[in-house]
Amino acid sequence: MSRDRRRPKSAPDTDTGTVRPARTFASVPRALGRLDLKLCAAVFLAAFALRVLYLGEIVHQPEFDLPAVDAGYHDYWAWGLASGEWAPPPYREDPQIQSTPYFRPPLCPYFLALIYSIFGHNYVAVRVVQMLLGSLSCVLAYVLAARLFDRGTAIVSGGFMAGYWVFIYFDSELREVVLLVFLLEALVLGLLSLRVRPGPLRALGCGVLLGLAALAKPNALLLIPVVILWLLLVNRPGACWRRGARVGTGLVVGTILTIAPAFLRNSLVAKDGVFISANGGINLYAGNNPVASGYDVRLPPPLPEFASSWEYPQVVRHVQRIEGRPMKGSEVSGWFARQALEHVRSDPGGTAALVLRKAILFWGGVEIVSERDLNAARGESALLRLLPGDFSTLLACAVVGFVFTLGRPGERRPNLAEPRAAAVASPHRADLALIVLLVGTYFVSFLPFFVTARYRAAIIPFMVVFAAYGLVRIAVGFLEGRVVTGVVALVAIVALYLGNSVDYYNVSDDGFKAAYDRAVALGKKGRPEDAITHYREALRIRPYAPKAHNNLGLLLAERGEAGEAIEHYAQALLVQPEYAEAHNNLGAEFLKQGDLDGAVVHCGEAVRLRPEFVLARKNLALALALQGRNDEAIDQYREALRVQPRDAGARYNLGILLSRQGRIEEAIREYRTALEIQPDDARTRQALDEALAQQGGIDRS
């Protein structure tokens, strides 16, 4: 008898008179039974086990504790919040996070800061926490598939999410991907529940999830009008419209309350009313300028290089020089937005072609690299190479699964949130519409900017659910004798795969970035010989890469191979004549060799290209002083100190030059300021004593 009670209800088939299982689509979420909970636990454990295995593979890699580019910016920001230590890494300018509006969305750094405040600056702990969250996202995929379809689809969805290599990779990166994937899945599940059980608390909760997603990726704010429209359309006219309006209000209130702290912080601390972050303008210009590629950040000259958030202060100063006045973060962002719109107006045809390219790249089979080469990371990992994750295959299966949902007969089932006699047509179609609107809006939101693999990762869980449904339908069709339908579906999958797996724009990485990144990490780890080997490998792949030539030149110069170092600096400048760092490094090498004219020429060119390049100004000042051009050298030191007033070495050198000119009082001021910065500097103390002796006084400070 108990077995009969567990048996699913049946419904008569109106066409044949036979009895068939009732459809698994429902107007309300199906409660998870004990078996579902056990399967969710299995999905979680499998997902976490795979991620721990990957963690064991990467923990000894040189890049493990050296987060790259914007991940490194997040790491610095998070540790500053957790510890109060705001010392930037070597060769990095202070990004002034404490006094400027948020340049990047703040959720990821604050999430990392919370972990650091508990476990310390522990790169293993932070990845374990992210992997736990990523494993929960796999469980949410199971729940979503069970809500939309059936248990079989849920099992396939959860299992595929657990083993999809792209998620395992991004769960180990200090980026917002793991947060955004989880939040968007939770948001969709919340909205599906809100549709059938409207209520202010549920609406507020969905608004909080949407607000958190916006704090991770501000593009999510575009979902607000889409979600409100969906809530209005899925209800009947009359009272339900009013109820939909109330629910929409709760959603908006929850979102505003969640993002308000970022706006208030920017307004009160930075005195700048930036809504969430100030990077929207420059990202818009990166996606719409004469040299834009559609998949990375390229700014046309004479703008300085903008490879990561670390370089943004240099970009801000460049814009301020153009405008001839100090500018707030919002003003600089607006300046770039205007430049982007002007480019769009001046070249509408090129802009349209670029938008098409972005769309194709977003849905294309190539995983576009950004901070690191994720394809190379997969190649290095014995685990990731064994796991599924071909985007073209996933997209093909998802499209077929989506078509299957469209071909399913409509249903009329009572909506339990409405009066007993009321009914809604095909309630699963409303759920389907939500996911289509969300994915479509998210995709469109990136077309004005640029696309990378990490940007599309957030919508992959929804693709997984439809792909799983399509595969389950094909398998069931074959088992039930619907061979033609199954064959047609498989042919469609193969055709879609073949059409999407072509690298139409030749954006596949050739291994250069992986070799270059490994070389950079090895150099920072104090392994110059290994770094040189990897730089040579990178240059074998791309012989004309200016950064690789420049960095290799630095390592060779440190090893005493000045001749070859100069050759690499020259190669870098041959490819990129406006490469300020290479000019400075070449000038510094000439300075060491005693070629003062060459030093002045190249350091001067570096200063011309980047007026705030402090190291170049100091090298230029030293060369000028050695030529006896003390007045010009003093001017260079003063300009360097205008940018970095707490440079004790520059103040010492400036004091020496002032002393030579008999300007003892000025020299004493510089020495004393230098000692305030570095109280234990013996040479500055001695120089101060000598200056005071010349003046006839004694320093008793």
> Nearest-CA neighbor of 262 among 221, 317, 312?
221
Residues 173-186 pLDDT 10s: 999 999 999 999 99
pLDDT score of 10 more than 70: no
3-class secondary-structure state, position 10: strand
Higher-pLDDT residue of 514 and 234 is 514
Mean pLDDT score across all residues of the chain = 88
Cα separation, 443 vs 184, whole angstroms: 13
The residue out of 462, 478, 500 marking a domain boundary is 500
The tokens for 411 are 């249903």
**Predicted local distance difference test score (pLDDT) of residue 305:** 79
| Residue 84 CA: distances (Å) to CA of 101, 126, 273, 645, 678 | 18, 18, 25, 22, 21
- Tell me the mean pLDDT in the region 407-424: 38
**Predicted local distance difference test score (pLDDT) of residue 419:** 36
Cα separation, 251 vs 553, whole angstroms: 56
Residues 333-348 pLDDT 10s: 999 999 999 999 999 9
Higher-pLDDT residue of 147 and 42 is 42
Strands 412-413 and 10-12: unpaired
pLDDT score of 294 more than 70: yes
Beta bridge partners of 19: 12
Q: Say if 617 falls within a structural domain.
A: no
| Domain assignment of residue 175, given as a range | 34-274+370-416+424-500
**Predicted local distance difference test score (pLDDT) of residue 698:** 53
**Predicted local distance difference test score (pLDDT) of residue 240:** 60
Strands 10-12 and 424-425: unpaired
CA 180, 185, 191, 193 dihedral sign is negative
Q: Say if 202 falls within a structural domain.
A: yes
- Whether 408 contacts 402, CB under 8 Å: no
Cα separation, 551 vs 523, whole angstroms: 9
3-state helix, strand, coil in the chain (%, to 5): 70, 0, 30
- Whether 416 contacts 31, CB under 8 Å: no
Q: Say if 344 falls within a structural domain.
A: no
CA 413, 416, 420, 425 dihedral sign is negative
Q: Name 26's Cβ contacts closer than 8 Å, sequence gap at least 6.
A: 413, 427, 428
Q: What is 133-172 written as a DSSP string?
A: HHHHHHHHHHHHHHHHS-HHHHHHHHHHHHH-HHHHHHTT
Q: Say if 432 falls within a structural domain.
A: yes
The residue out of 500, 533, 562 marking a domain boundary is 500
Beta bridge partners of 424: 413
**Predicted local distance difference test score (pLDDT) of residue 8:** 44
Cα separation, 158 vs 50, whole angstroms: 13
Count the neighbouring beta carbons within 10 Å of the beta carbon of residue 44.
19
**Predicted local distance difference test score (pLDDT) of residue 63:** 92
**Predicted local distance difference test score (pLDDT) of residue 215:** 97
pLDDT score of 694 more than 90: no
Q: Name 614's Cβ contacts closer than 8 Å, sequence gap at least 6.
A: 640, 643, 644, 647, 650
**Predicted local distance difference test score (pLDDT) of residue 260:** 96
> Nearest-CA neighbor of 160 among 547, 500, 460?
460
SS (HEC) of 500-554: HCCCCCCCCCCCHHHHHHHHHHHHHCCCHHHHHHHHHHHHHHCCCCHHHHHHHHH
Task: With both helix axes pointing from N to C terminus, report the angle between 614-626 and 580-593 in degrees, rounded to the nearest 10.
Answer: 30
The residue out of 432, 466, 500 marking a domain boundary is 500
Residues 243-283 pLDDT 10s: 667 788 889 999 999 999 999 999 999 999 999 999 999 99
**Predicted local distance difference test score (pLDDT) of residue 415:** 35
Q: What angle do CA 16, 21, 25 make, to 5 degrees?
A: 115
Cα separation, 265 vs 106, whole angstroms: 11
**Predicted local distance difference test score (pLDDT) of residue 509:** 78
**Predicted local distance difference test score (pLDDT) of residue 81:** 96
Count the neighbouring beta carbons within 10 Å of the beta carbon of residue 485.
16
Higher-pLDDT residue of 237 and 88 is 88
- Whether 154 contacts 42, CB under 8 Å: no
Strands 19-21 and 424-425: unpaired
Cα separation, 305 vs 610, whole angstroms: 10
Cα separation, 529 vs 457, whole angstroms: 37
Higher-pLDDT residue of 156 and 88 is 156
- Tell me the mean pLDDT in the region 569-575: 95
Specify the CATH number for the domain of residue 671. Answer: 1.25.40.10
pLDDT score of 218 more than 50: yes
Specify the pTM: 0.86
pLDDT score of 426 more than 70: no
Q: Say if 315 falls within a structural domain.
A: no
Cα separation, 40 vs 141, whole angstroms: 10
**Predicted local distance difference test score (pLDDT) of residue 418:** 36
3-class secondary-structure state, position 297: coil
Count the neighbouring beta carbons within 10 Å of the beta carbon of residue 334.
15
Q: Say if 680 falls within a structural domain.
A: yes
- Whether 449 contacts 203, CB under 8 Å: no
Cα separation, 26 vs 9, whole angstroms: 13
- Tell me the mean pLDDT in the region 162-178: 96
Cα separation, 549 vs 580, whole angstroms: 13
User: Which amino acid belongs to residue 592?
Assistant: K
Q: Name 71's Cβ contacts closer than 8 Å, sequence gap at least 6.
A: 173, 174, 175, 371
Q: How many domains does the chain have?
A: 2
pLDDT score of 30 more than 60: no
pLDDT score of 9 more than 70: no
- Tell me the mean pLDDT in the region 662-691: 91
Count the neighbouring beta carbons within 10 Å of the beta carbon of residue 5.
6
Question: Which long-range contacts (C-beta less than 8 Å, at least 24 apart) are formed by 559-568?
Answer: 559/528, 559/532, 562/589, 562/592, 562/593, 565/589, 566/590
Cα separation, 654 vs 630, whole angstroms: 10
3-class secondary-structure state, position 424: strand
Strands 19-21 and 412-413: unpaired
Q: Say if 443 falls within a structural domain.
A: yes
Cα separation, 648 vs 614, whole angstroms: 13
Cα separation, 150 vs 567, whole angstroms: 65
Higher-pLDDT residue of 147 and 427 is 147
| Structure confidence at residue 307 as a pLDDT band (50, 70, 90) | confident
pLDDT score of 296 more than 60: yes
The tokens for 348 are 């509408």
Q: Say if 94 falls within a structural domain.
A: yes
Cα separation, 639 vs 614, whole angstroms: 8
Cα separation, 565 vs 100, whole angstroms: 38
> Nearest-CA neighbor of 640 among 584, 582, 577, 557?
584
Cα separation, 393 vs 405, whole angstroms: 19
- Whether 496 contacts 399, CB under 8 Å: yes
pLDDT score of 4 more than 50: no
